[in-house]
């Protein structure tokens, strides 16, 4: 009899311990991880472009903390996402541009999603998280493979754009758009009962080109009301040759000026942002209606910025403000307060360690960014380290609250005072009175700048390599 009681007590203890562990797991925060492709700082709450209409992204910003000075790790999809998801900077991995295969130098065990899997999470993914379709088996519990319905330009479209800058309204409804289907999947996950905490990654492709979304979004921005972004003639006159090479003023910009359709391209980008904002709104609404709204961290980020003629440049692929700056919003229940605004310069290398920090997951030693959890709690704290963006080997852009400093591989420089010159029209790097400011930035340049990874030979060239 005594043995039976011991066995019963032992069983109860094991059951209790298991229940306790399950309860602890249930208390771990869920994560809604929203990645947006090619979204620059044209969102309402950042005030960069007064024409934009982003009520849902702005609503999310008001729910937590928005970073007004957030910068990508690299101004191209592939290296930006590889760095963010691995915690390894381009200068360490060698992944500096699109078309470079990062998978041999970034093992599965080092990625962000792997850390959450090892911590007992279910990790779901949908849409564009890595560049192309580079999500790997073993790093996700489940990955949604979306369908791509046929999309057709509306009869009102003149054609599909100007040269390589592709745009035009569609005759399709919103429900045909791939991003809409990705959000459908995410909403299904938010509506399900989960026995384990979850990490739900939702990658929205728009506003990546082509800026082709249903006509209704274009109608929100009448063409006659469109204002061109701030620009000036001969803006590259004081820019070193390395910067001009990145700008390629004789390419997209010259073609756009010749076409006379610059305003149409701006309209199309604004329309595509509006479509994306509606998808973000669907996600927020779905979370708010779910049983997980009070225990889910939300982080929204754009993978890099985008130029629409500023500094005679189009696309990303440069080291100026328009290419480097993008939205970054955090909502962390129990930590962030509504309406928080942080002006400290941060880069997206902070996302990986911060998520680990918030979920009480050990930050791996290879991670090069620092957790910004203190800024989520107190957005006005001092944060001295500048944000850094890298494009190709030994080319770096460093941003403080007041200045942006660019150092190219050949040693040439740019320096802009954003308090006096928010459009980066006057390069101060040649003025000796700023030598000390430049020196303060230079101490933050990476000591290691490994050679570039080879471009993917024998692989199908991604459409984005030319976008």
Q: Which residues are catalytic?
A: 77, 131
Q: How do beta strands 328-331 and 340-342 pair?
A: unpaired
Phi, psi of 466 (to 5 degrees): -110, 10
CA-CA distance, 354 to 372, in Å (whole number)? Answer: 6
CA-closest candidate to residue 454, choices 22, 161, 81, 94: 94
CA-CA distance, 108 to 112, in Å (whole number)? Answer: 9
CA-closest candidate to residue 178, choices 42, 37, 290: 37
Identify the three-state secondary structure at position 153. strand
Helix%, strand%, coil% for the chain, nearest 5: 35, 15, 45
- Give the rounded distance of the alpha carbon of 395 from its chain centre: 20
Burial 215-253 (b: 16+ CB within 10 A, else e): bebbeebeeeebeebebeeebbeebbebbbebbbbeebb
In the block, residue with structure tokens 């629409």: 308
CA-CA distance, 451 to 455, in Å (whole number)? Answer: 12
CA-CA distance, 166 to 207, in Å (whole number)? Answer: 11
| Residue 7: count of CB within 10 angstroms of its CB | 10
| Residue 25: count of CB within 10 angstroms of its CB | 14
- The enclosing H or E element of 121 equals none
The region, left, alpha or beta by phi > 0 then psi within -120 to 50, assigned to residue 268 is alpha
């Amino acid at each position: 009899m005594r043995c039976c009681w011991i066995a019963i007590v032992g069983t109860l203890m094991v059951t209790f311990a298991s229940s306790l562990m399950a309860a602890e797991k249930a208390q771990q925060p869920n994560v809604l991880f929203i990645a947006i492709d090619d979204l620059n700082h044209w969102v309402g709450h950042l005030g960069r472009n007064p024409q934009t209409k982003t009520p849902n992204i702005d609503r999310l910003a008001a729910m937590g903390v928005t970073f007004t000075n957030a910068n990508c790790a690299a101004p191209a999809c592939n290296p930006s996402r590889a760095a963010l998801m691995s915690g390894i900077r381009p200068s360490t991995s060698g992944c500096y541009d699109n078309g470079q295969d990062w998978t041999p130098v970034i093992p599965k065990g080092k990625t962000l999603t792997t850390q959450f899997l090892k911590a007992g999470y279910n990790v779901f993914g949908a849409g564009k998280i890595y560049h192309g379709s580079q999500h790997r088996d073993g790093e996700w519990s489940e990955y949604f493979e979306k369908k791509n319905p046929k999309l057709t330009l509306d009869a009102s479209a003149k054609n599909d754009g100007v040269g390589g800058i592709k745009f035009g309204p569609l005759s399709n409804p919103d429900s045909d758009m791939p991003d809409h289907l990705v959000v459908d999947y995410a909403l299904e996950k938010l509506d399900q009962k989960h026995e384990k905490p979850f990490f739900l990654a939702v990658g929205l492709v728009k506003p990546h080109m082509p800026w082709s979304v249903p006509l209704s979004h274009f109608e929100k921005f009448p063409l006659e009301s469109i204002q061109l972004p701030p620009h000036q003639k001969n803006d590259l006159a004081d820019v070193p040759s390395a910067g001009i090479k990145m700008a390629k003023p004789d390419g997209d910009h010259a073609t756009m000026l010749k076409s006379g359709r610059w305003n149409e391209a701006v309209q199309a980008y604004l329309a595509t942002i509006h479509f994306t904002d509606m998808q973000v709104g669907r996600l927020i609404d779905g979370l708010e209606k779910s049983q997980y709204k009070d225990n889910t961290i939300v982080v929204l980020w754009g993978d890099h910025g985008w130029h629409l003629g500023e500094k005679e440049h189009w696309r990303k692929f440069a080291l100026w403000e328009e290419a480097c700056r993008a939205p970054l919003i955090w909502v962390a229940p129990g930590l962030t307060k509504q309406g928080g605004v942080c002006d400290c310069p941060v880069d997206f290398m902070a996302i990986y360690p911060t998520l680990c920090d918030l979920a009480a997951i050990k930050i791996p030693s290879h991670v090069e960014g620092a957790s910004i959890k203190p800024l989520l709690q107190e957005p006005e704290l001092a944060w001295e380290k500048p944000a850094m963006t890298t494009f190709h080997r030994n080319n770096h852009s460093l941003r403080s609250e007041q200045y942006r400093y660019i150092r190219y591989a050949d040693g040439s420089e740019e320096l802009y005072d954003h308090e006096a010159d928010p459009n980066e029209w006057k390069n101060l790097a040649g003025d000796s009175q700023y030598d000390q400011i430049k020196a303060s930035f230079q101490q933050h340049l990476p000591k290691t700048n490994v050679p570039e990874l080879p471009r993917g030979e024998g692989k199908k060239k991604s459409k984005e390599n030319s976008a």
